[in-house]
Amino acid sequence: MTQPTAVDFKNQGNKALLESKYEEAIELYTKAINLDSTNAVFFANRAQAHIKSEAYGSAIADASEAIKLDPSYTKAYYRRAVAKTAIVRYKDALPDFKVTVDRAPNDKDAKARYLECQKIVRRLAFEKAIEVEDEPSVAETLDIRSLKVEDSYDGPELDIEFVKEADSDKFFPKVNMTKEFITQTIERFKVGKLLPRKYLYAIVLQAMKLFQQEPTMVEIKAEMPDHLITICGDTHGQFFDLLEIFRKNGEPSENHMYLFNGDFVDRGSWSCEIALTLYAYKILYPSSFFINRGNHETDSMNKVYGFEGECKHKYVSESVFKLFSESFSLLPLATLVSDQYFVVHGGLFSDDNVTLDDIRKFNRFSEKQPGMHGIMMEMLWTDPQPEPGRGPSKRGIGIQFGPDVTDRFCKANGLKAVIRSHEVRMGGYSEEHDGKLITVFSAPNYCDSQGNKGAYINVREDGELNFVTFDAVPHPDIKPMRYASQLMGM
């Protein structure tokens, strides 16, 4: 029987890529490379599969290898540029876009991305030049009392009291949230209607007060046999799939805690609706509804992957996104569930000496955005790897950590497992690192293209985990990434 050639594996990889089977495509291109490591096309094609699976660091490495093998291979420069912009390395991407445009002047997509990248680099330079160190926050300057609810609004009324703050002339909105308001608002969102900006501002401000009172690592447990904790992973603006979780698993209540483990905005086209729904539930059930911060609850991601654009499109206001941004910077970074499970969006650390006590003491308010180094960045960005030790991140940001790292962290902190999100899992969840590392992802058929299941985890009083998977449900014909930057939305 004839053995497959490198070209055979490459062709099979191309087919898998077209069918959105990205991990399979990566494996097939890797087989082609193992048989022939001198062909630039194999590396460039694997770079594209890495881009599709959001492994941008690996994509940059493969595109760079393709360029090294064949400096005339224009497509490799283009893919490297796309991968760099995905991790907001705009200045680094410009030279690669320029090579592409110079060599392929008729490529409209490449030219549009090049011009958009130039525009972003100029805008960032301008913003840095006029940056004010102590610029007042939107939360402090909004005058919600004077805002009127539009006469055309036909939705539920939100009960807002305005309470005068001590030693100040300012009045703070106090929201009296009800289950009926949330239910009616969800129905409103389902048919494409919005909340008035006055209500939005009041909800976000009230949620911010609650987040600010919570520690960097929240600690929760099911106290009674009839109590339940549900842990959800990324929902990424997939509002109708969020509603499927509540339909299938039960709505939040005082006895049914929910923990959303970050990345509830960006990519999907209903991020505003998800954020407002989660915040409303937080106000209604402050002691049983919790939200961790993810790497997409950050400005750099929101400006590229759609949340900023969505806020401006739906609410025609700069202040809406800025207020949400301020709320994201107050979110807790982790949750300890039942004293046994450390729940964090990304993963573990570059230093074995980091403990739960270090996280408890960490001042998350000292840096609003996570930056490229440090504990906050690692909690939001890191990923597991099957090999022992630590390695460079396939994303191009943070690190990867092996089973030995997870084992040492669990033993040092008396944990059964680390639960994280941050990555698609085709079955909705995975158990790795000898069962001590669990990934849960709650956005089924991610971006309408991946074909994956969604999942959530139920934790009962005895601490046992029950994994539940679910399929994507139909949604209105609005595509993912509709509001994203042109760099990502093409």
Order of strands across the sheet that contains 383-384: 383-384, 399-401, 390-392
Between strands 417-420 and 437-440, the pairing is parallel
Stated as kind and residue range, the H or E segment containing 448 is none
Give which of 63, 127, 52, 50 is closest to 92, Cα–Cα: 63
**pLDDT tier at 331, thresholds 50, 70, 90:** very high
Please give the structure tokens belonging to residue 155: 């939705």
CB burial string 413-433: b at 16+ within 10 A, e below = bebbbbbbbbbbbeebbbebb
Q: Give one word for 54, left, alpha or beta, with left for phi > 0 and alpha for psi -120 to 50.
A: left
Least confident of 215-219, 345-349, 363-367: 363-367
* CATH H superfamily, domain 6-129: Tetratricopeptide repeat domain (1.25.40.10)
Average pLDDT score, the chain = 95
* Domain limits, the chain: 6-129, 195-489
pTM of the model: 0.94
pLDDT per residue as tens digits for the range 457-478: 999 988 999 999 999 999 999 9
Going by C-alpha positions, the residue among 72, 73, 13 that lies closest to residue 48 is 13
- The contacts of residue 367 (CB under 8 Å, 6+ apart) are 374, 376
Q: What pLDDT does residue 371 have?
A: 86
Q: What homologous superfamily does CATH list for 195-489?
A: Metallo-dependent phosphatases (3.60.21.10)
490 falls in which pLDDT band (50, 70, 90)?
A: very low
**345 counts as catalytic:** no
Average pLDDT over residues 322-339: 98
Tens of pLDDT, residue by residue over 388-426, are: 999 999 999 999 999 999 999 999 999 999 999 999 999
Average pLDDT over residues 358-372: 94
Determine how β-strand 437-440 pairs with β-strand 217-220.
unpaired
Longest Cα–Cα distance of the chain, Å, equals: 85
The two three-digit tokens of residue 90, written as one number: 């705009």
Say which range, 151-165, 181-195, 257-271, 334-348, has the weakest mean pLDDT: 151-165
Q: Average of pLDDT values for 220-227?
A: 88
**Position 489 confidence tier, pLDDT thresholds 50, 70, 90:** low
Q: What percent of the chain has pLDDT over 90?
A: 89
DSSP 366-413: G-SS--SSSHHHHHHH-EE-SSSSEEE-TTSSSEEE-HHHHHHHHHHH
Q: Which of 50, 236, 296, 345 is catalytic?
A: 296
**What is the C-alpha R_g of the chain?**
23
